[in-house]
Amino acid sequence: MNGKKTALITGAGSGIGLALTRRLLNENWQVVGLNRSAFPAEDPIVQEAAMERRLREYRADLADFRQLKQALELILAQESRLDLIFNNAGGSLPEIRYSPQGRELHYELQTVAPYLIMMELKGLLERGEHRKVVNTSTNAFASLTTFNASTLEQPTSFRKLFGPYAATKLALSLWTREAGPQLFAQEGITVLSVDPGGNNTINPKNRAGLPFLLRPVMKLLFPDPSKGAGLLYDAALGRQGDVPSGGYLTKGRPSKLKFAEQGAEVLARVDEIYREDYQRGF
């Protein structure tokens, strides 16, 4: 087991994360799933891999620091190496909600948690071969005309998909842009953020975070989640050529980010949360 290629995927139990899990398992990777919800019981590829221990699952609500810390401690104790980390978990909520730590939930899940996971598991990644972190972003923030890093934790307004969801995904890409060349050059770790494009990830049990008019469009016109999983896969394994650490990819190509001048502020804040709230808070 120790010599096998191993990828950690958050949000691996459904949508793009599940499609990526299935692809990697089919290519003889080992997969570590860090999920809030269980893998589907009816999926034969997943269930066979779980029985063979090629797929190993750790459960946590990633926006709850106590649960996240417990899961990461188990991973550190039980896994010997990671070649890739896919920070893929996320979602669009129907309203403003807050994490157990008191910050807006999109921000905690999509901006902060990926940073904590990356920092805590860096040692396992250093033992791997590929040494890449791929953060799932979006192109939904292309529509943003304003962005204020100081209001991410306590937003003053809300729109489905194009409000806190898009803003916190932009914040994820902004700290990736800053941290990629700054924090991990000596360890040889590459950190990228990747837009997986539009995918039909509608979950019948949780559709409330989508604008009403987008639901039929997504169902009828958007491709299967395997399309987005392919873009994440290609970014991780270099199918589009070398991209410098910190890069943002959309449609498989490097692209510039809006509001890049606020990237340092975003990174400083998530790092402060990591060191002051996460590391010292328990």
**Could you tell me which residues come within 8 angstroms of residue 267 by beta carbon, excluding any fewer than 6 positions away?**
174, 175, 178, 179, 182
> Given this model, what pLDDT does residue 65 score?
98
Mean pLDDT of the chain: 90
What is the rounded distance in angstroms from the CA atom of residue 65 to the CA atom of residue 279? 10
In a domain, 50, yes or no: yes
| Pairing status of strand 253-254 against strand 248-250 | antiparallel
Here the CATH number for the domain that contains residue 15 is: 3.40.50.720
> Given this model, what pLDDT does residue 187 score?
83
Write the pLDDT tens digit of every residue in 101-150: 999 999 999 999 999 999 999 999 999 999 999 999 999 999 999 999 99
Structural domain boundaries, residue 255 = 6-278
Q: How many CB atoms lie within 10 A of CB 154?
A: 12
Establish how many alpha carbons lie within 13 A of residue 10's alpha carbon, considering only the half-sphere containing its beta carbon.
Answer: 28
What is the rounded distance in angstroms from the CA atom of residue 128 to the CA atom of residue 32? 14
In a domain, 160, yes or no: yes
What is the rounded distance in angstroms from the CA atom of residue 210 to the CA atom of residue 148? 23
In a domain, 246, yes or no: yes
What is the rounded distance in angstroms from the CA atom of residue 148 to the CA atom of residue 123? 33
Q: The tokens of 118 are what?
A: 């990356």
In a domain, 237, yes or no: yes
Write the pLDDT tens digit of every residue in 21-71: 999 999 999 999 999 999 999 999 999 999 999 999 999 999 999 999 999
Is the Cβ–Cβ distance between 106 and 93 less than 8 Å?
yes
Is the Cβ–Cβ distance between 131 and 83 less than 8 Å?
yes
What is the rounded distance in angstroms from the CA atom of residue 120 to the CA atom of residue 100? 20
Check whether 271 has a pLDDT greater than 50. yes
Model-level pTM? 0.91
In a domain, 52, yes or no: yes
* Reduced 3-state DSSP string for the chain: CCCCCEEEEECCCCHHHHHHHHHHHHCCCEEEEEECCCCCCCCHHHHHHHHCCCEEEEECCCCCHHHHHHHHHHHHHHCCCCCEEEECCCCCCCCCCECCCCCEHHHHHHHHHHHHHHHHCHHHHHCCCCCEEEEECCCHHHHCCCCCHHHCCCCCCCCCCCCHHHHHHHHHHHHHHHHHHHHCCCCCCEEEEEECCCCCCCECCECCCCCCCHHHHHHHHCCCHHHHHHHHHHHHHCCCCCCCCCCEEECCEECCCCCHHHHHHHHHHHHHHHHHHHCCCC
Confidence band of 281 (pLDDT split at 50, 70, 90): confident
In a domain, 213, yes or no: yes
Write the pLDDT tens digit of every residue in 197-246: 875 455 555 455 555 445 554 454 555 888 999 999 999 998 656 789 99
In a domain, 1, yes or no: no
Total domains, the chain = 1
In a domain, 125, yes or no: yes
> Given this model, what pLDDT does residue 93 score?
92
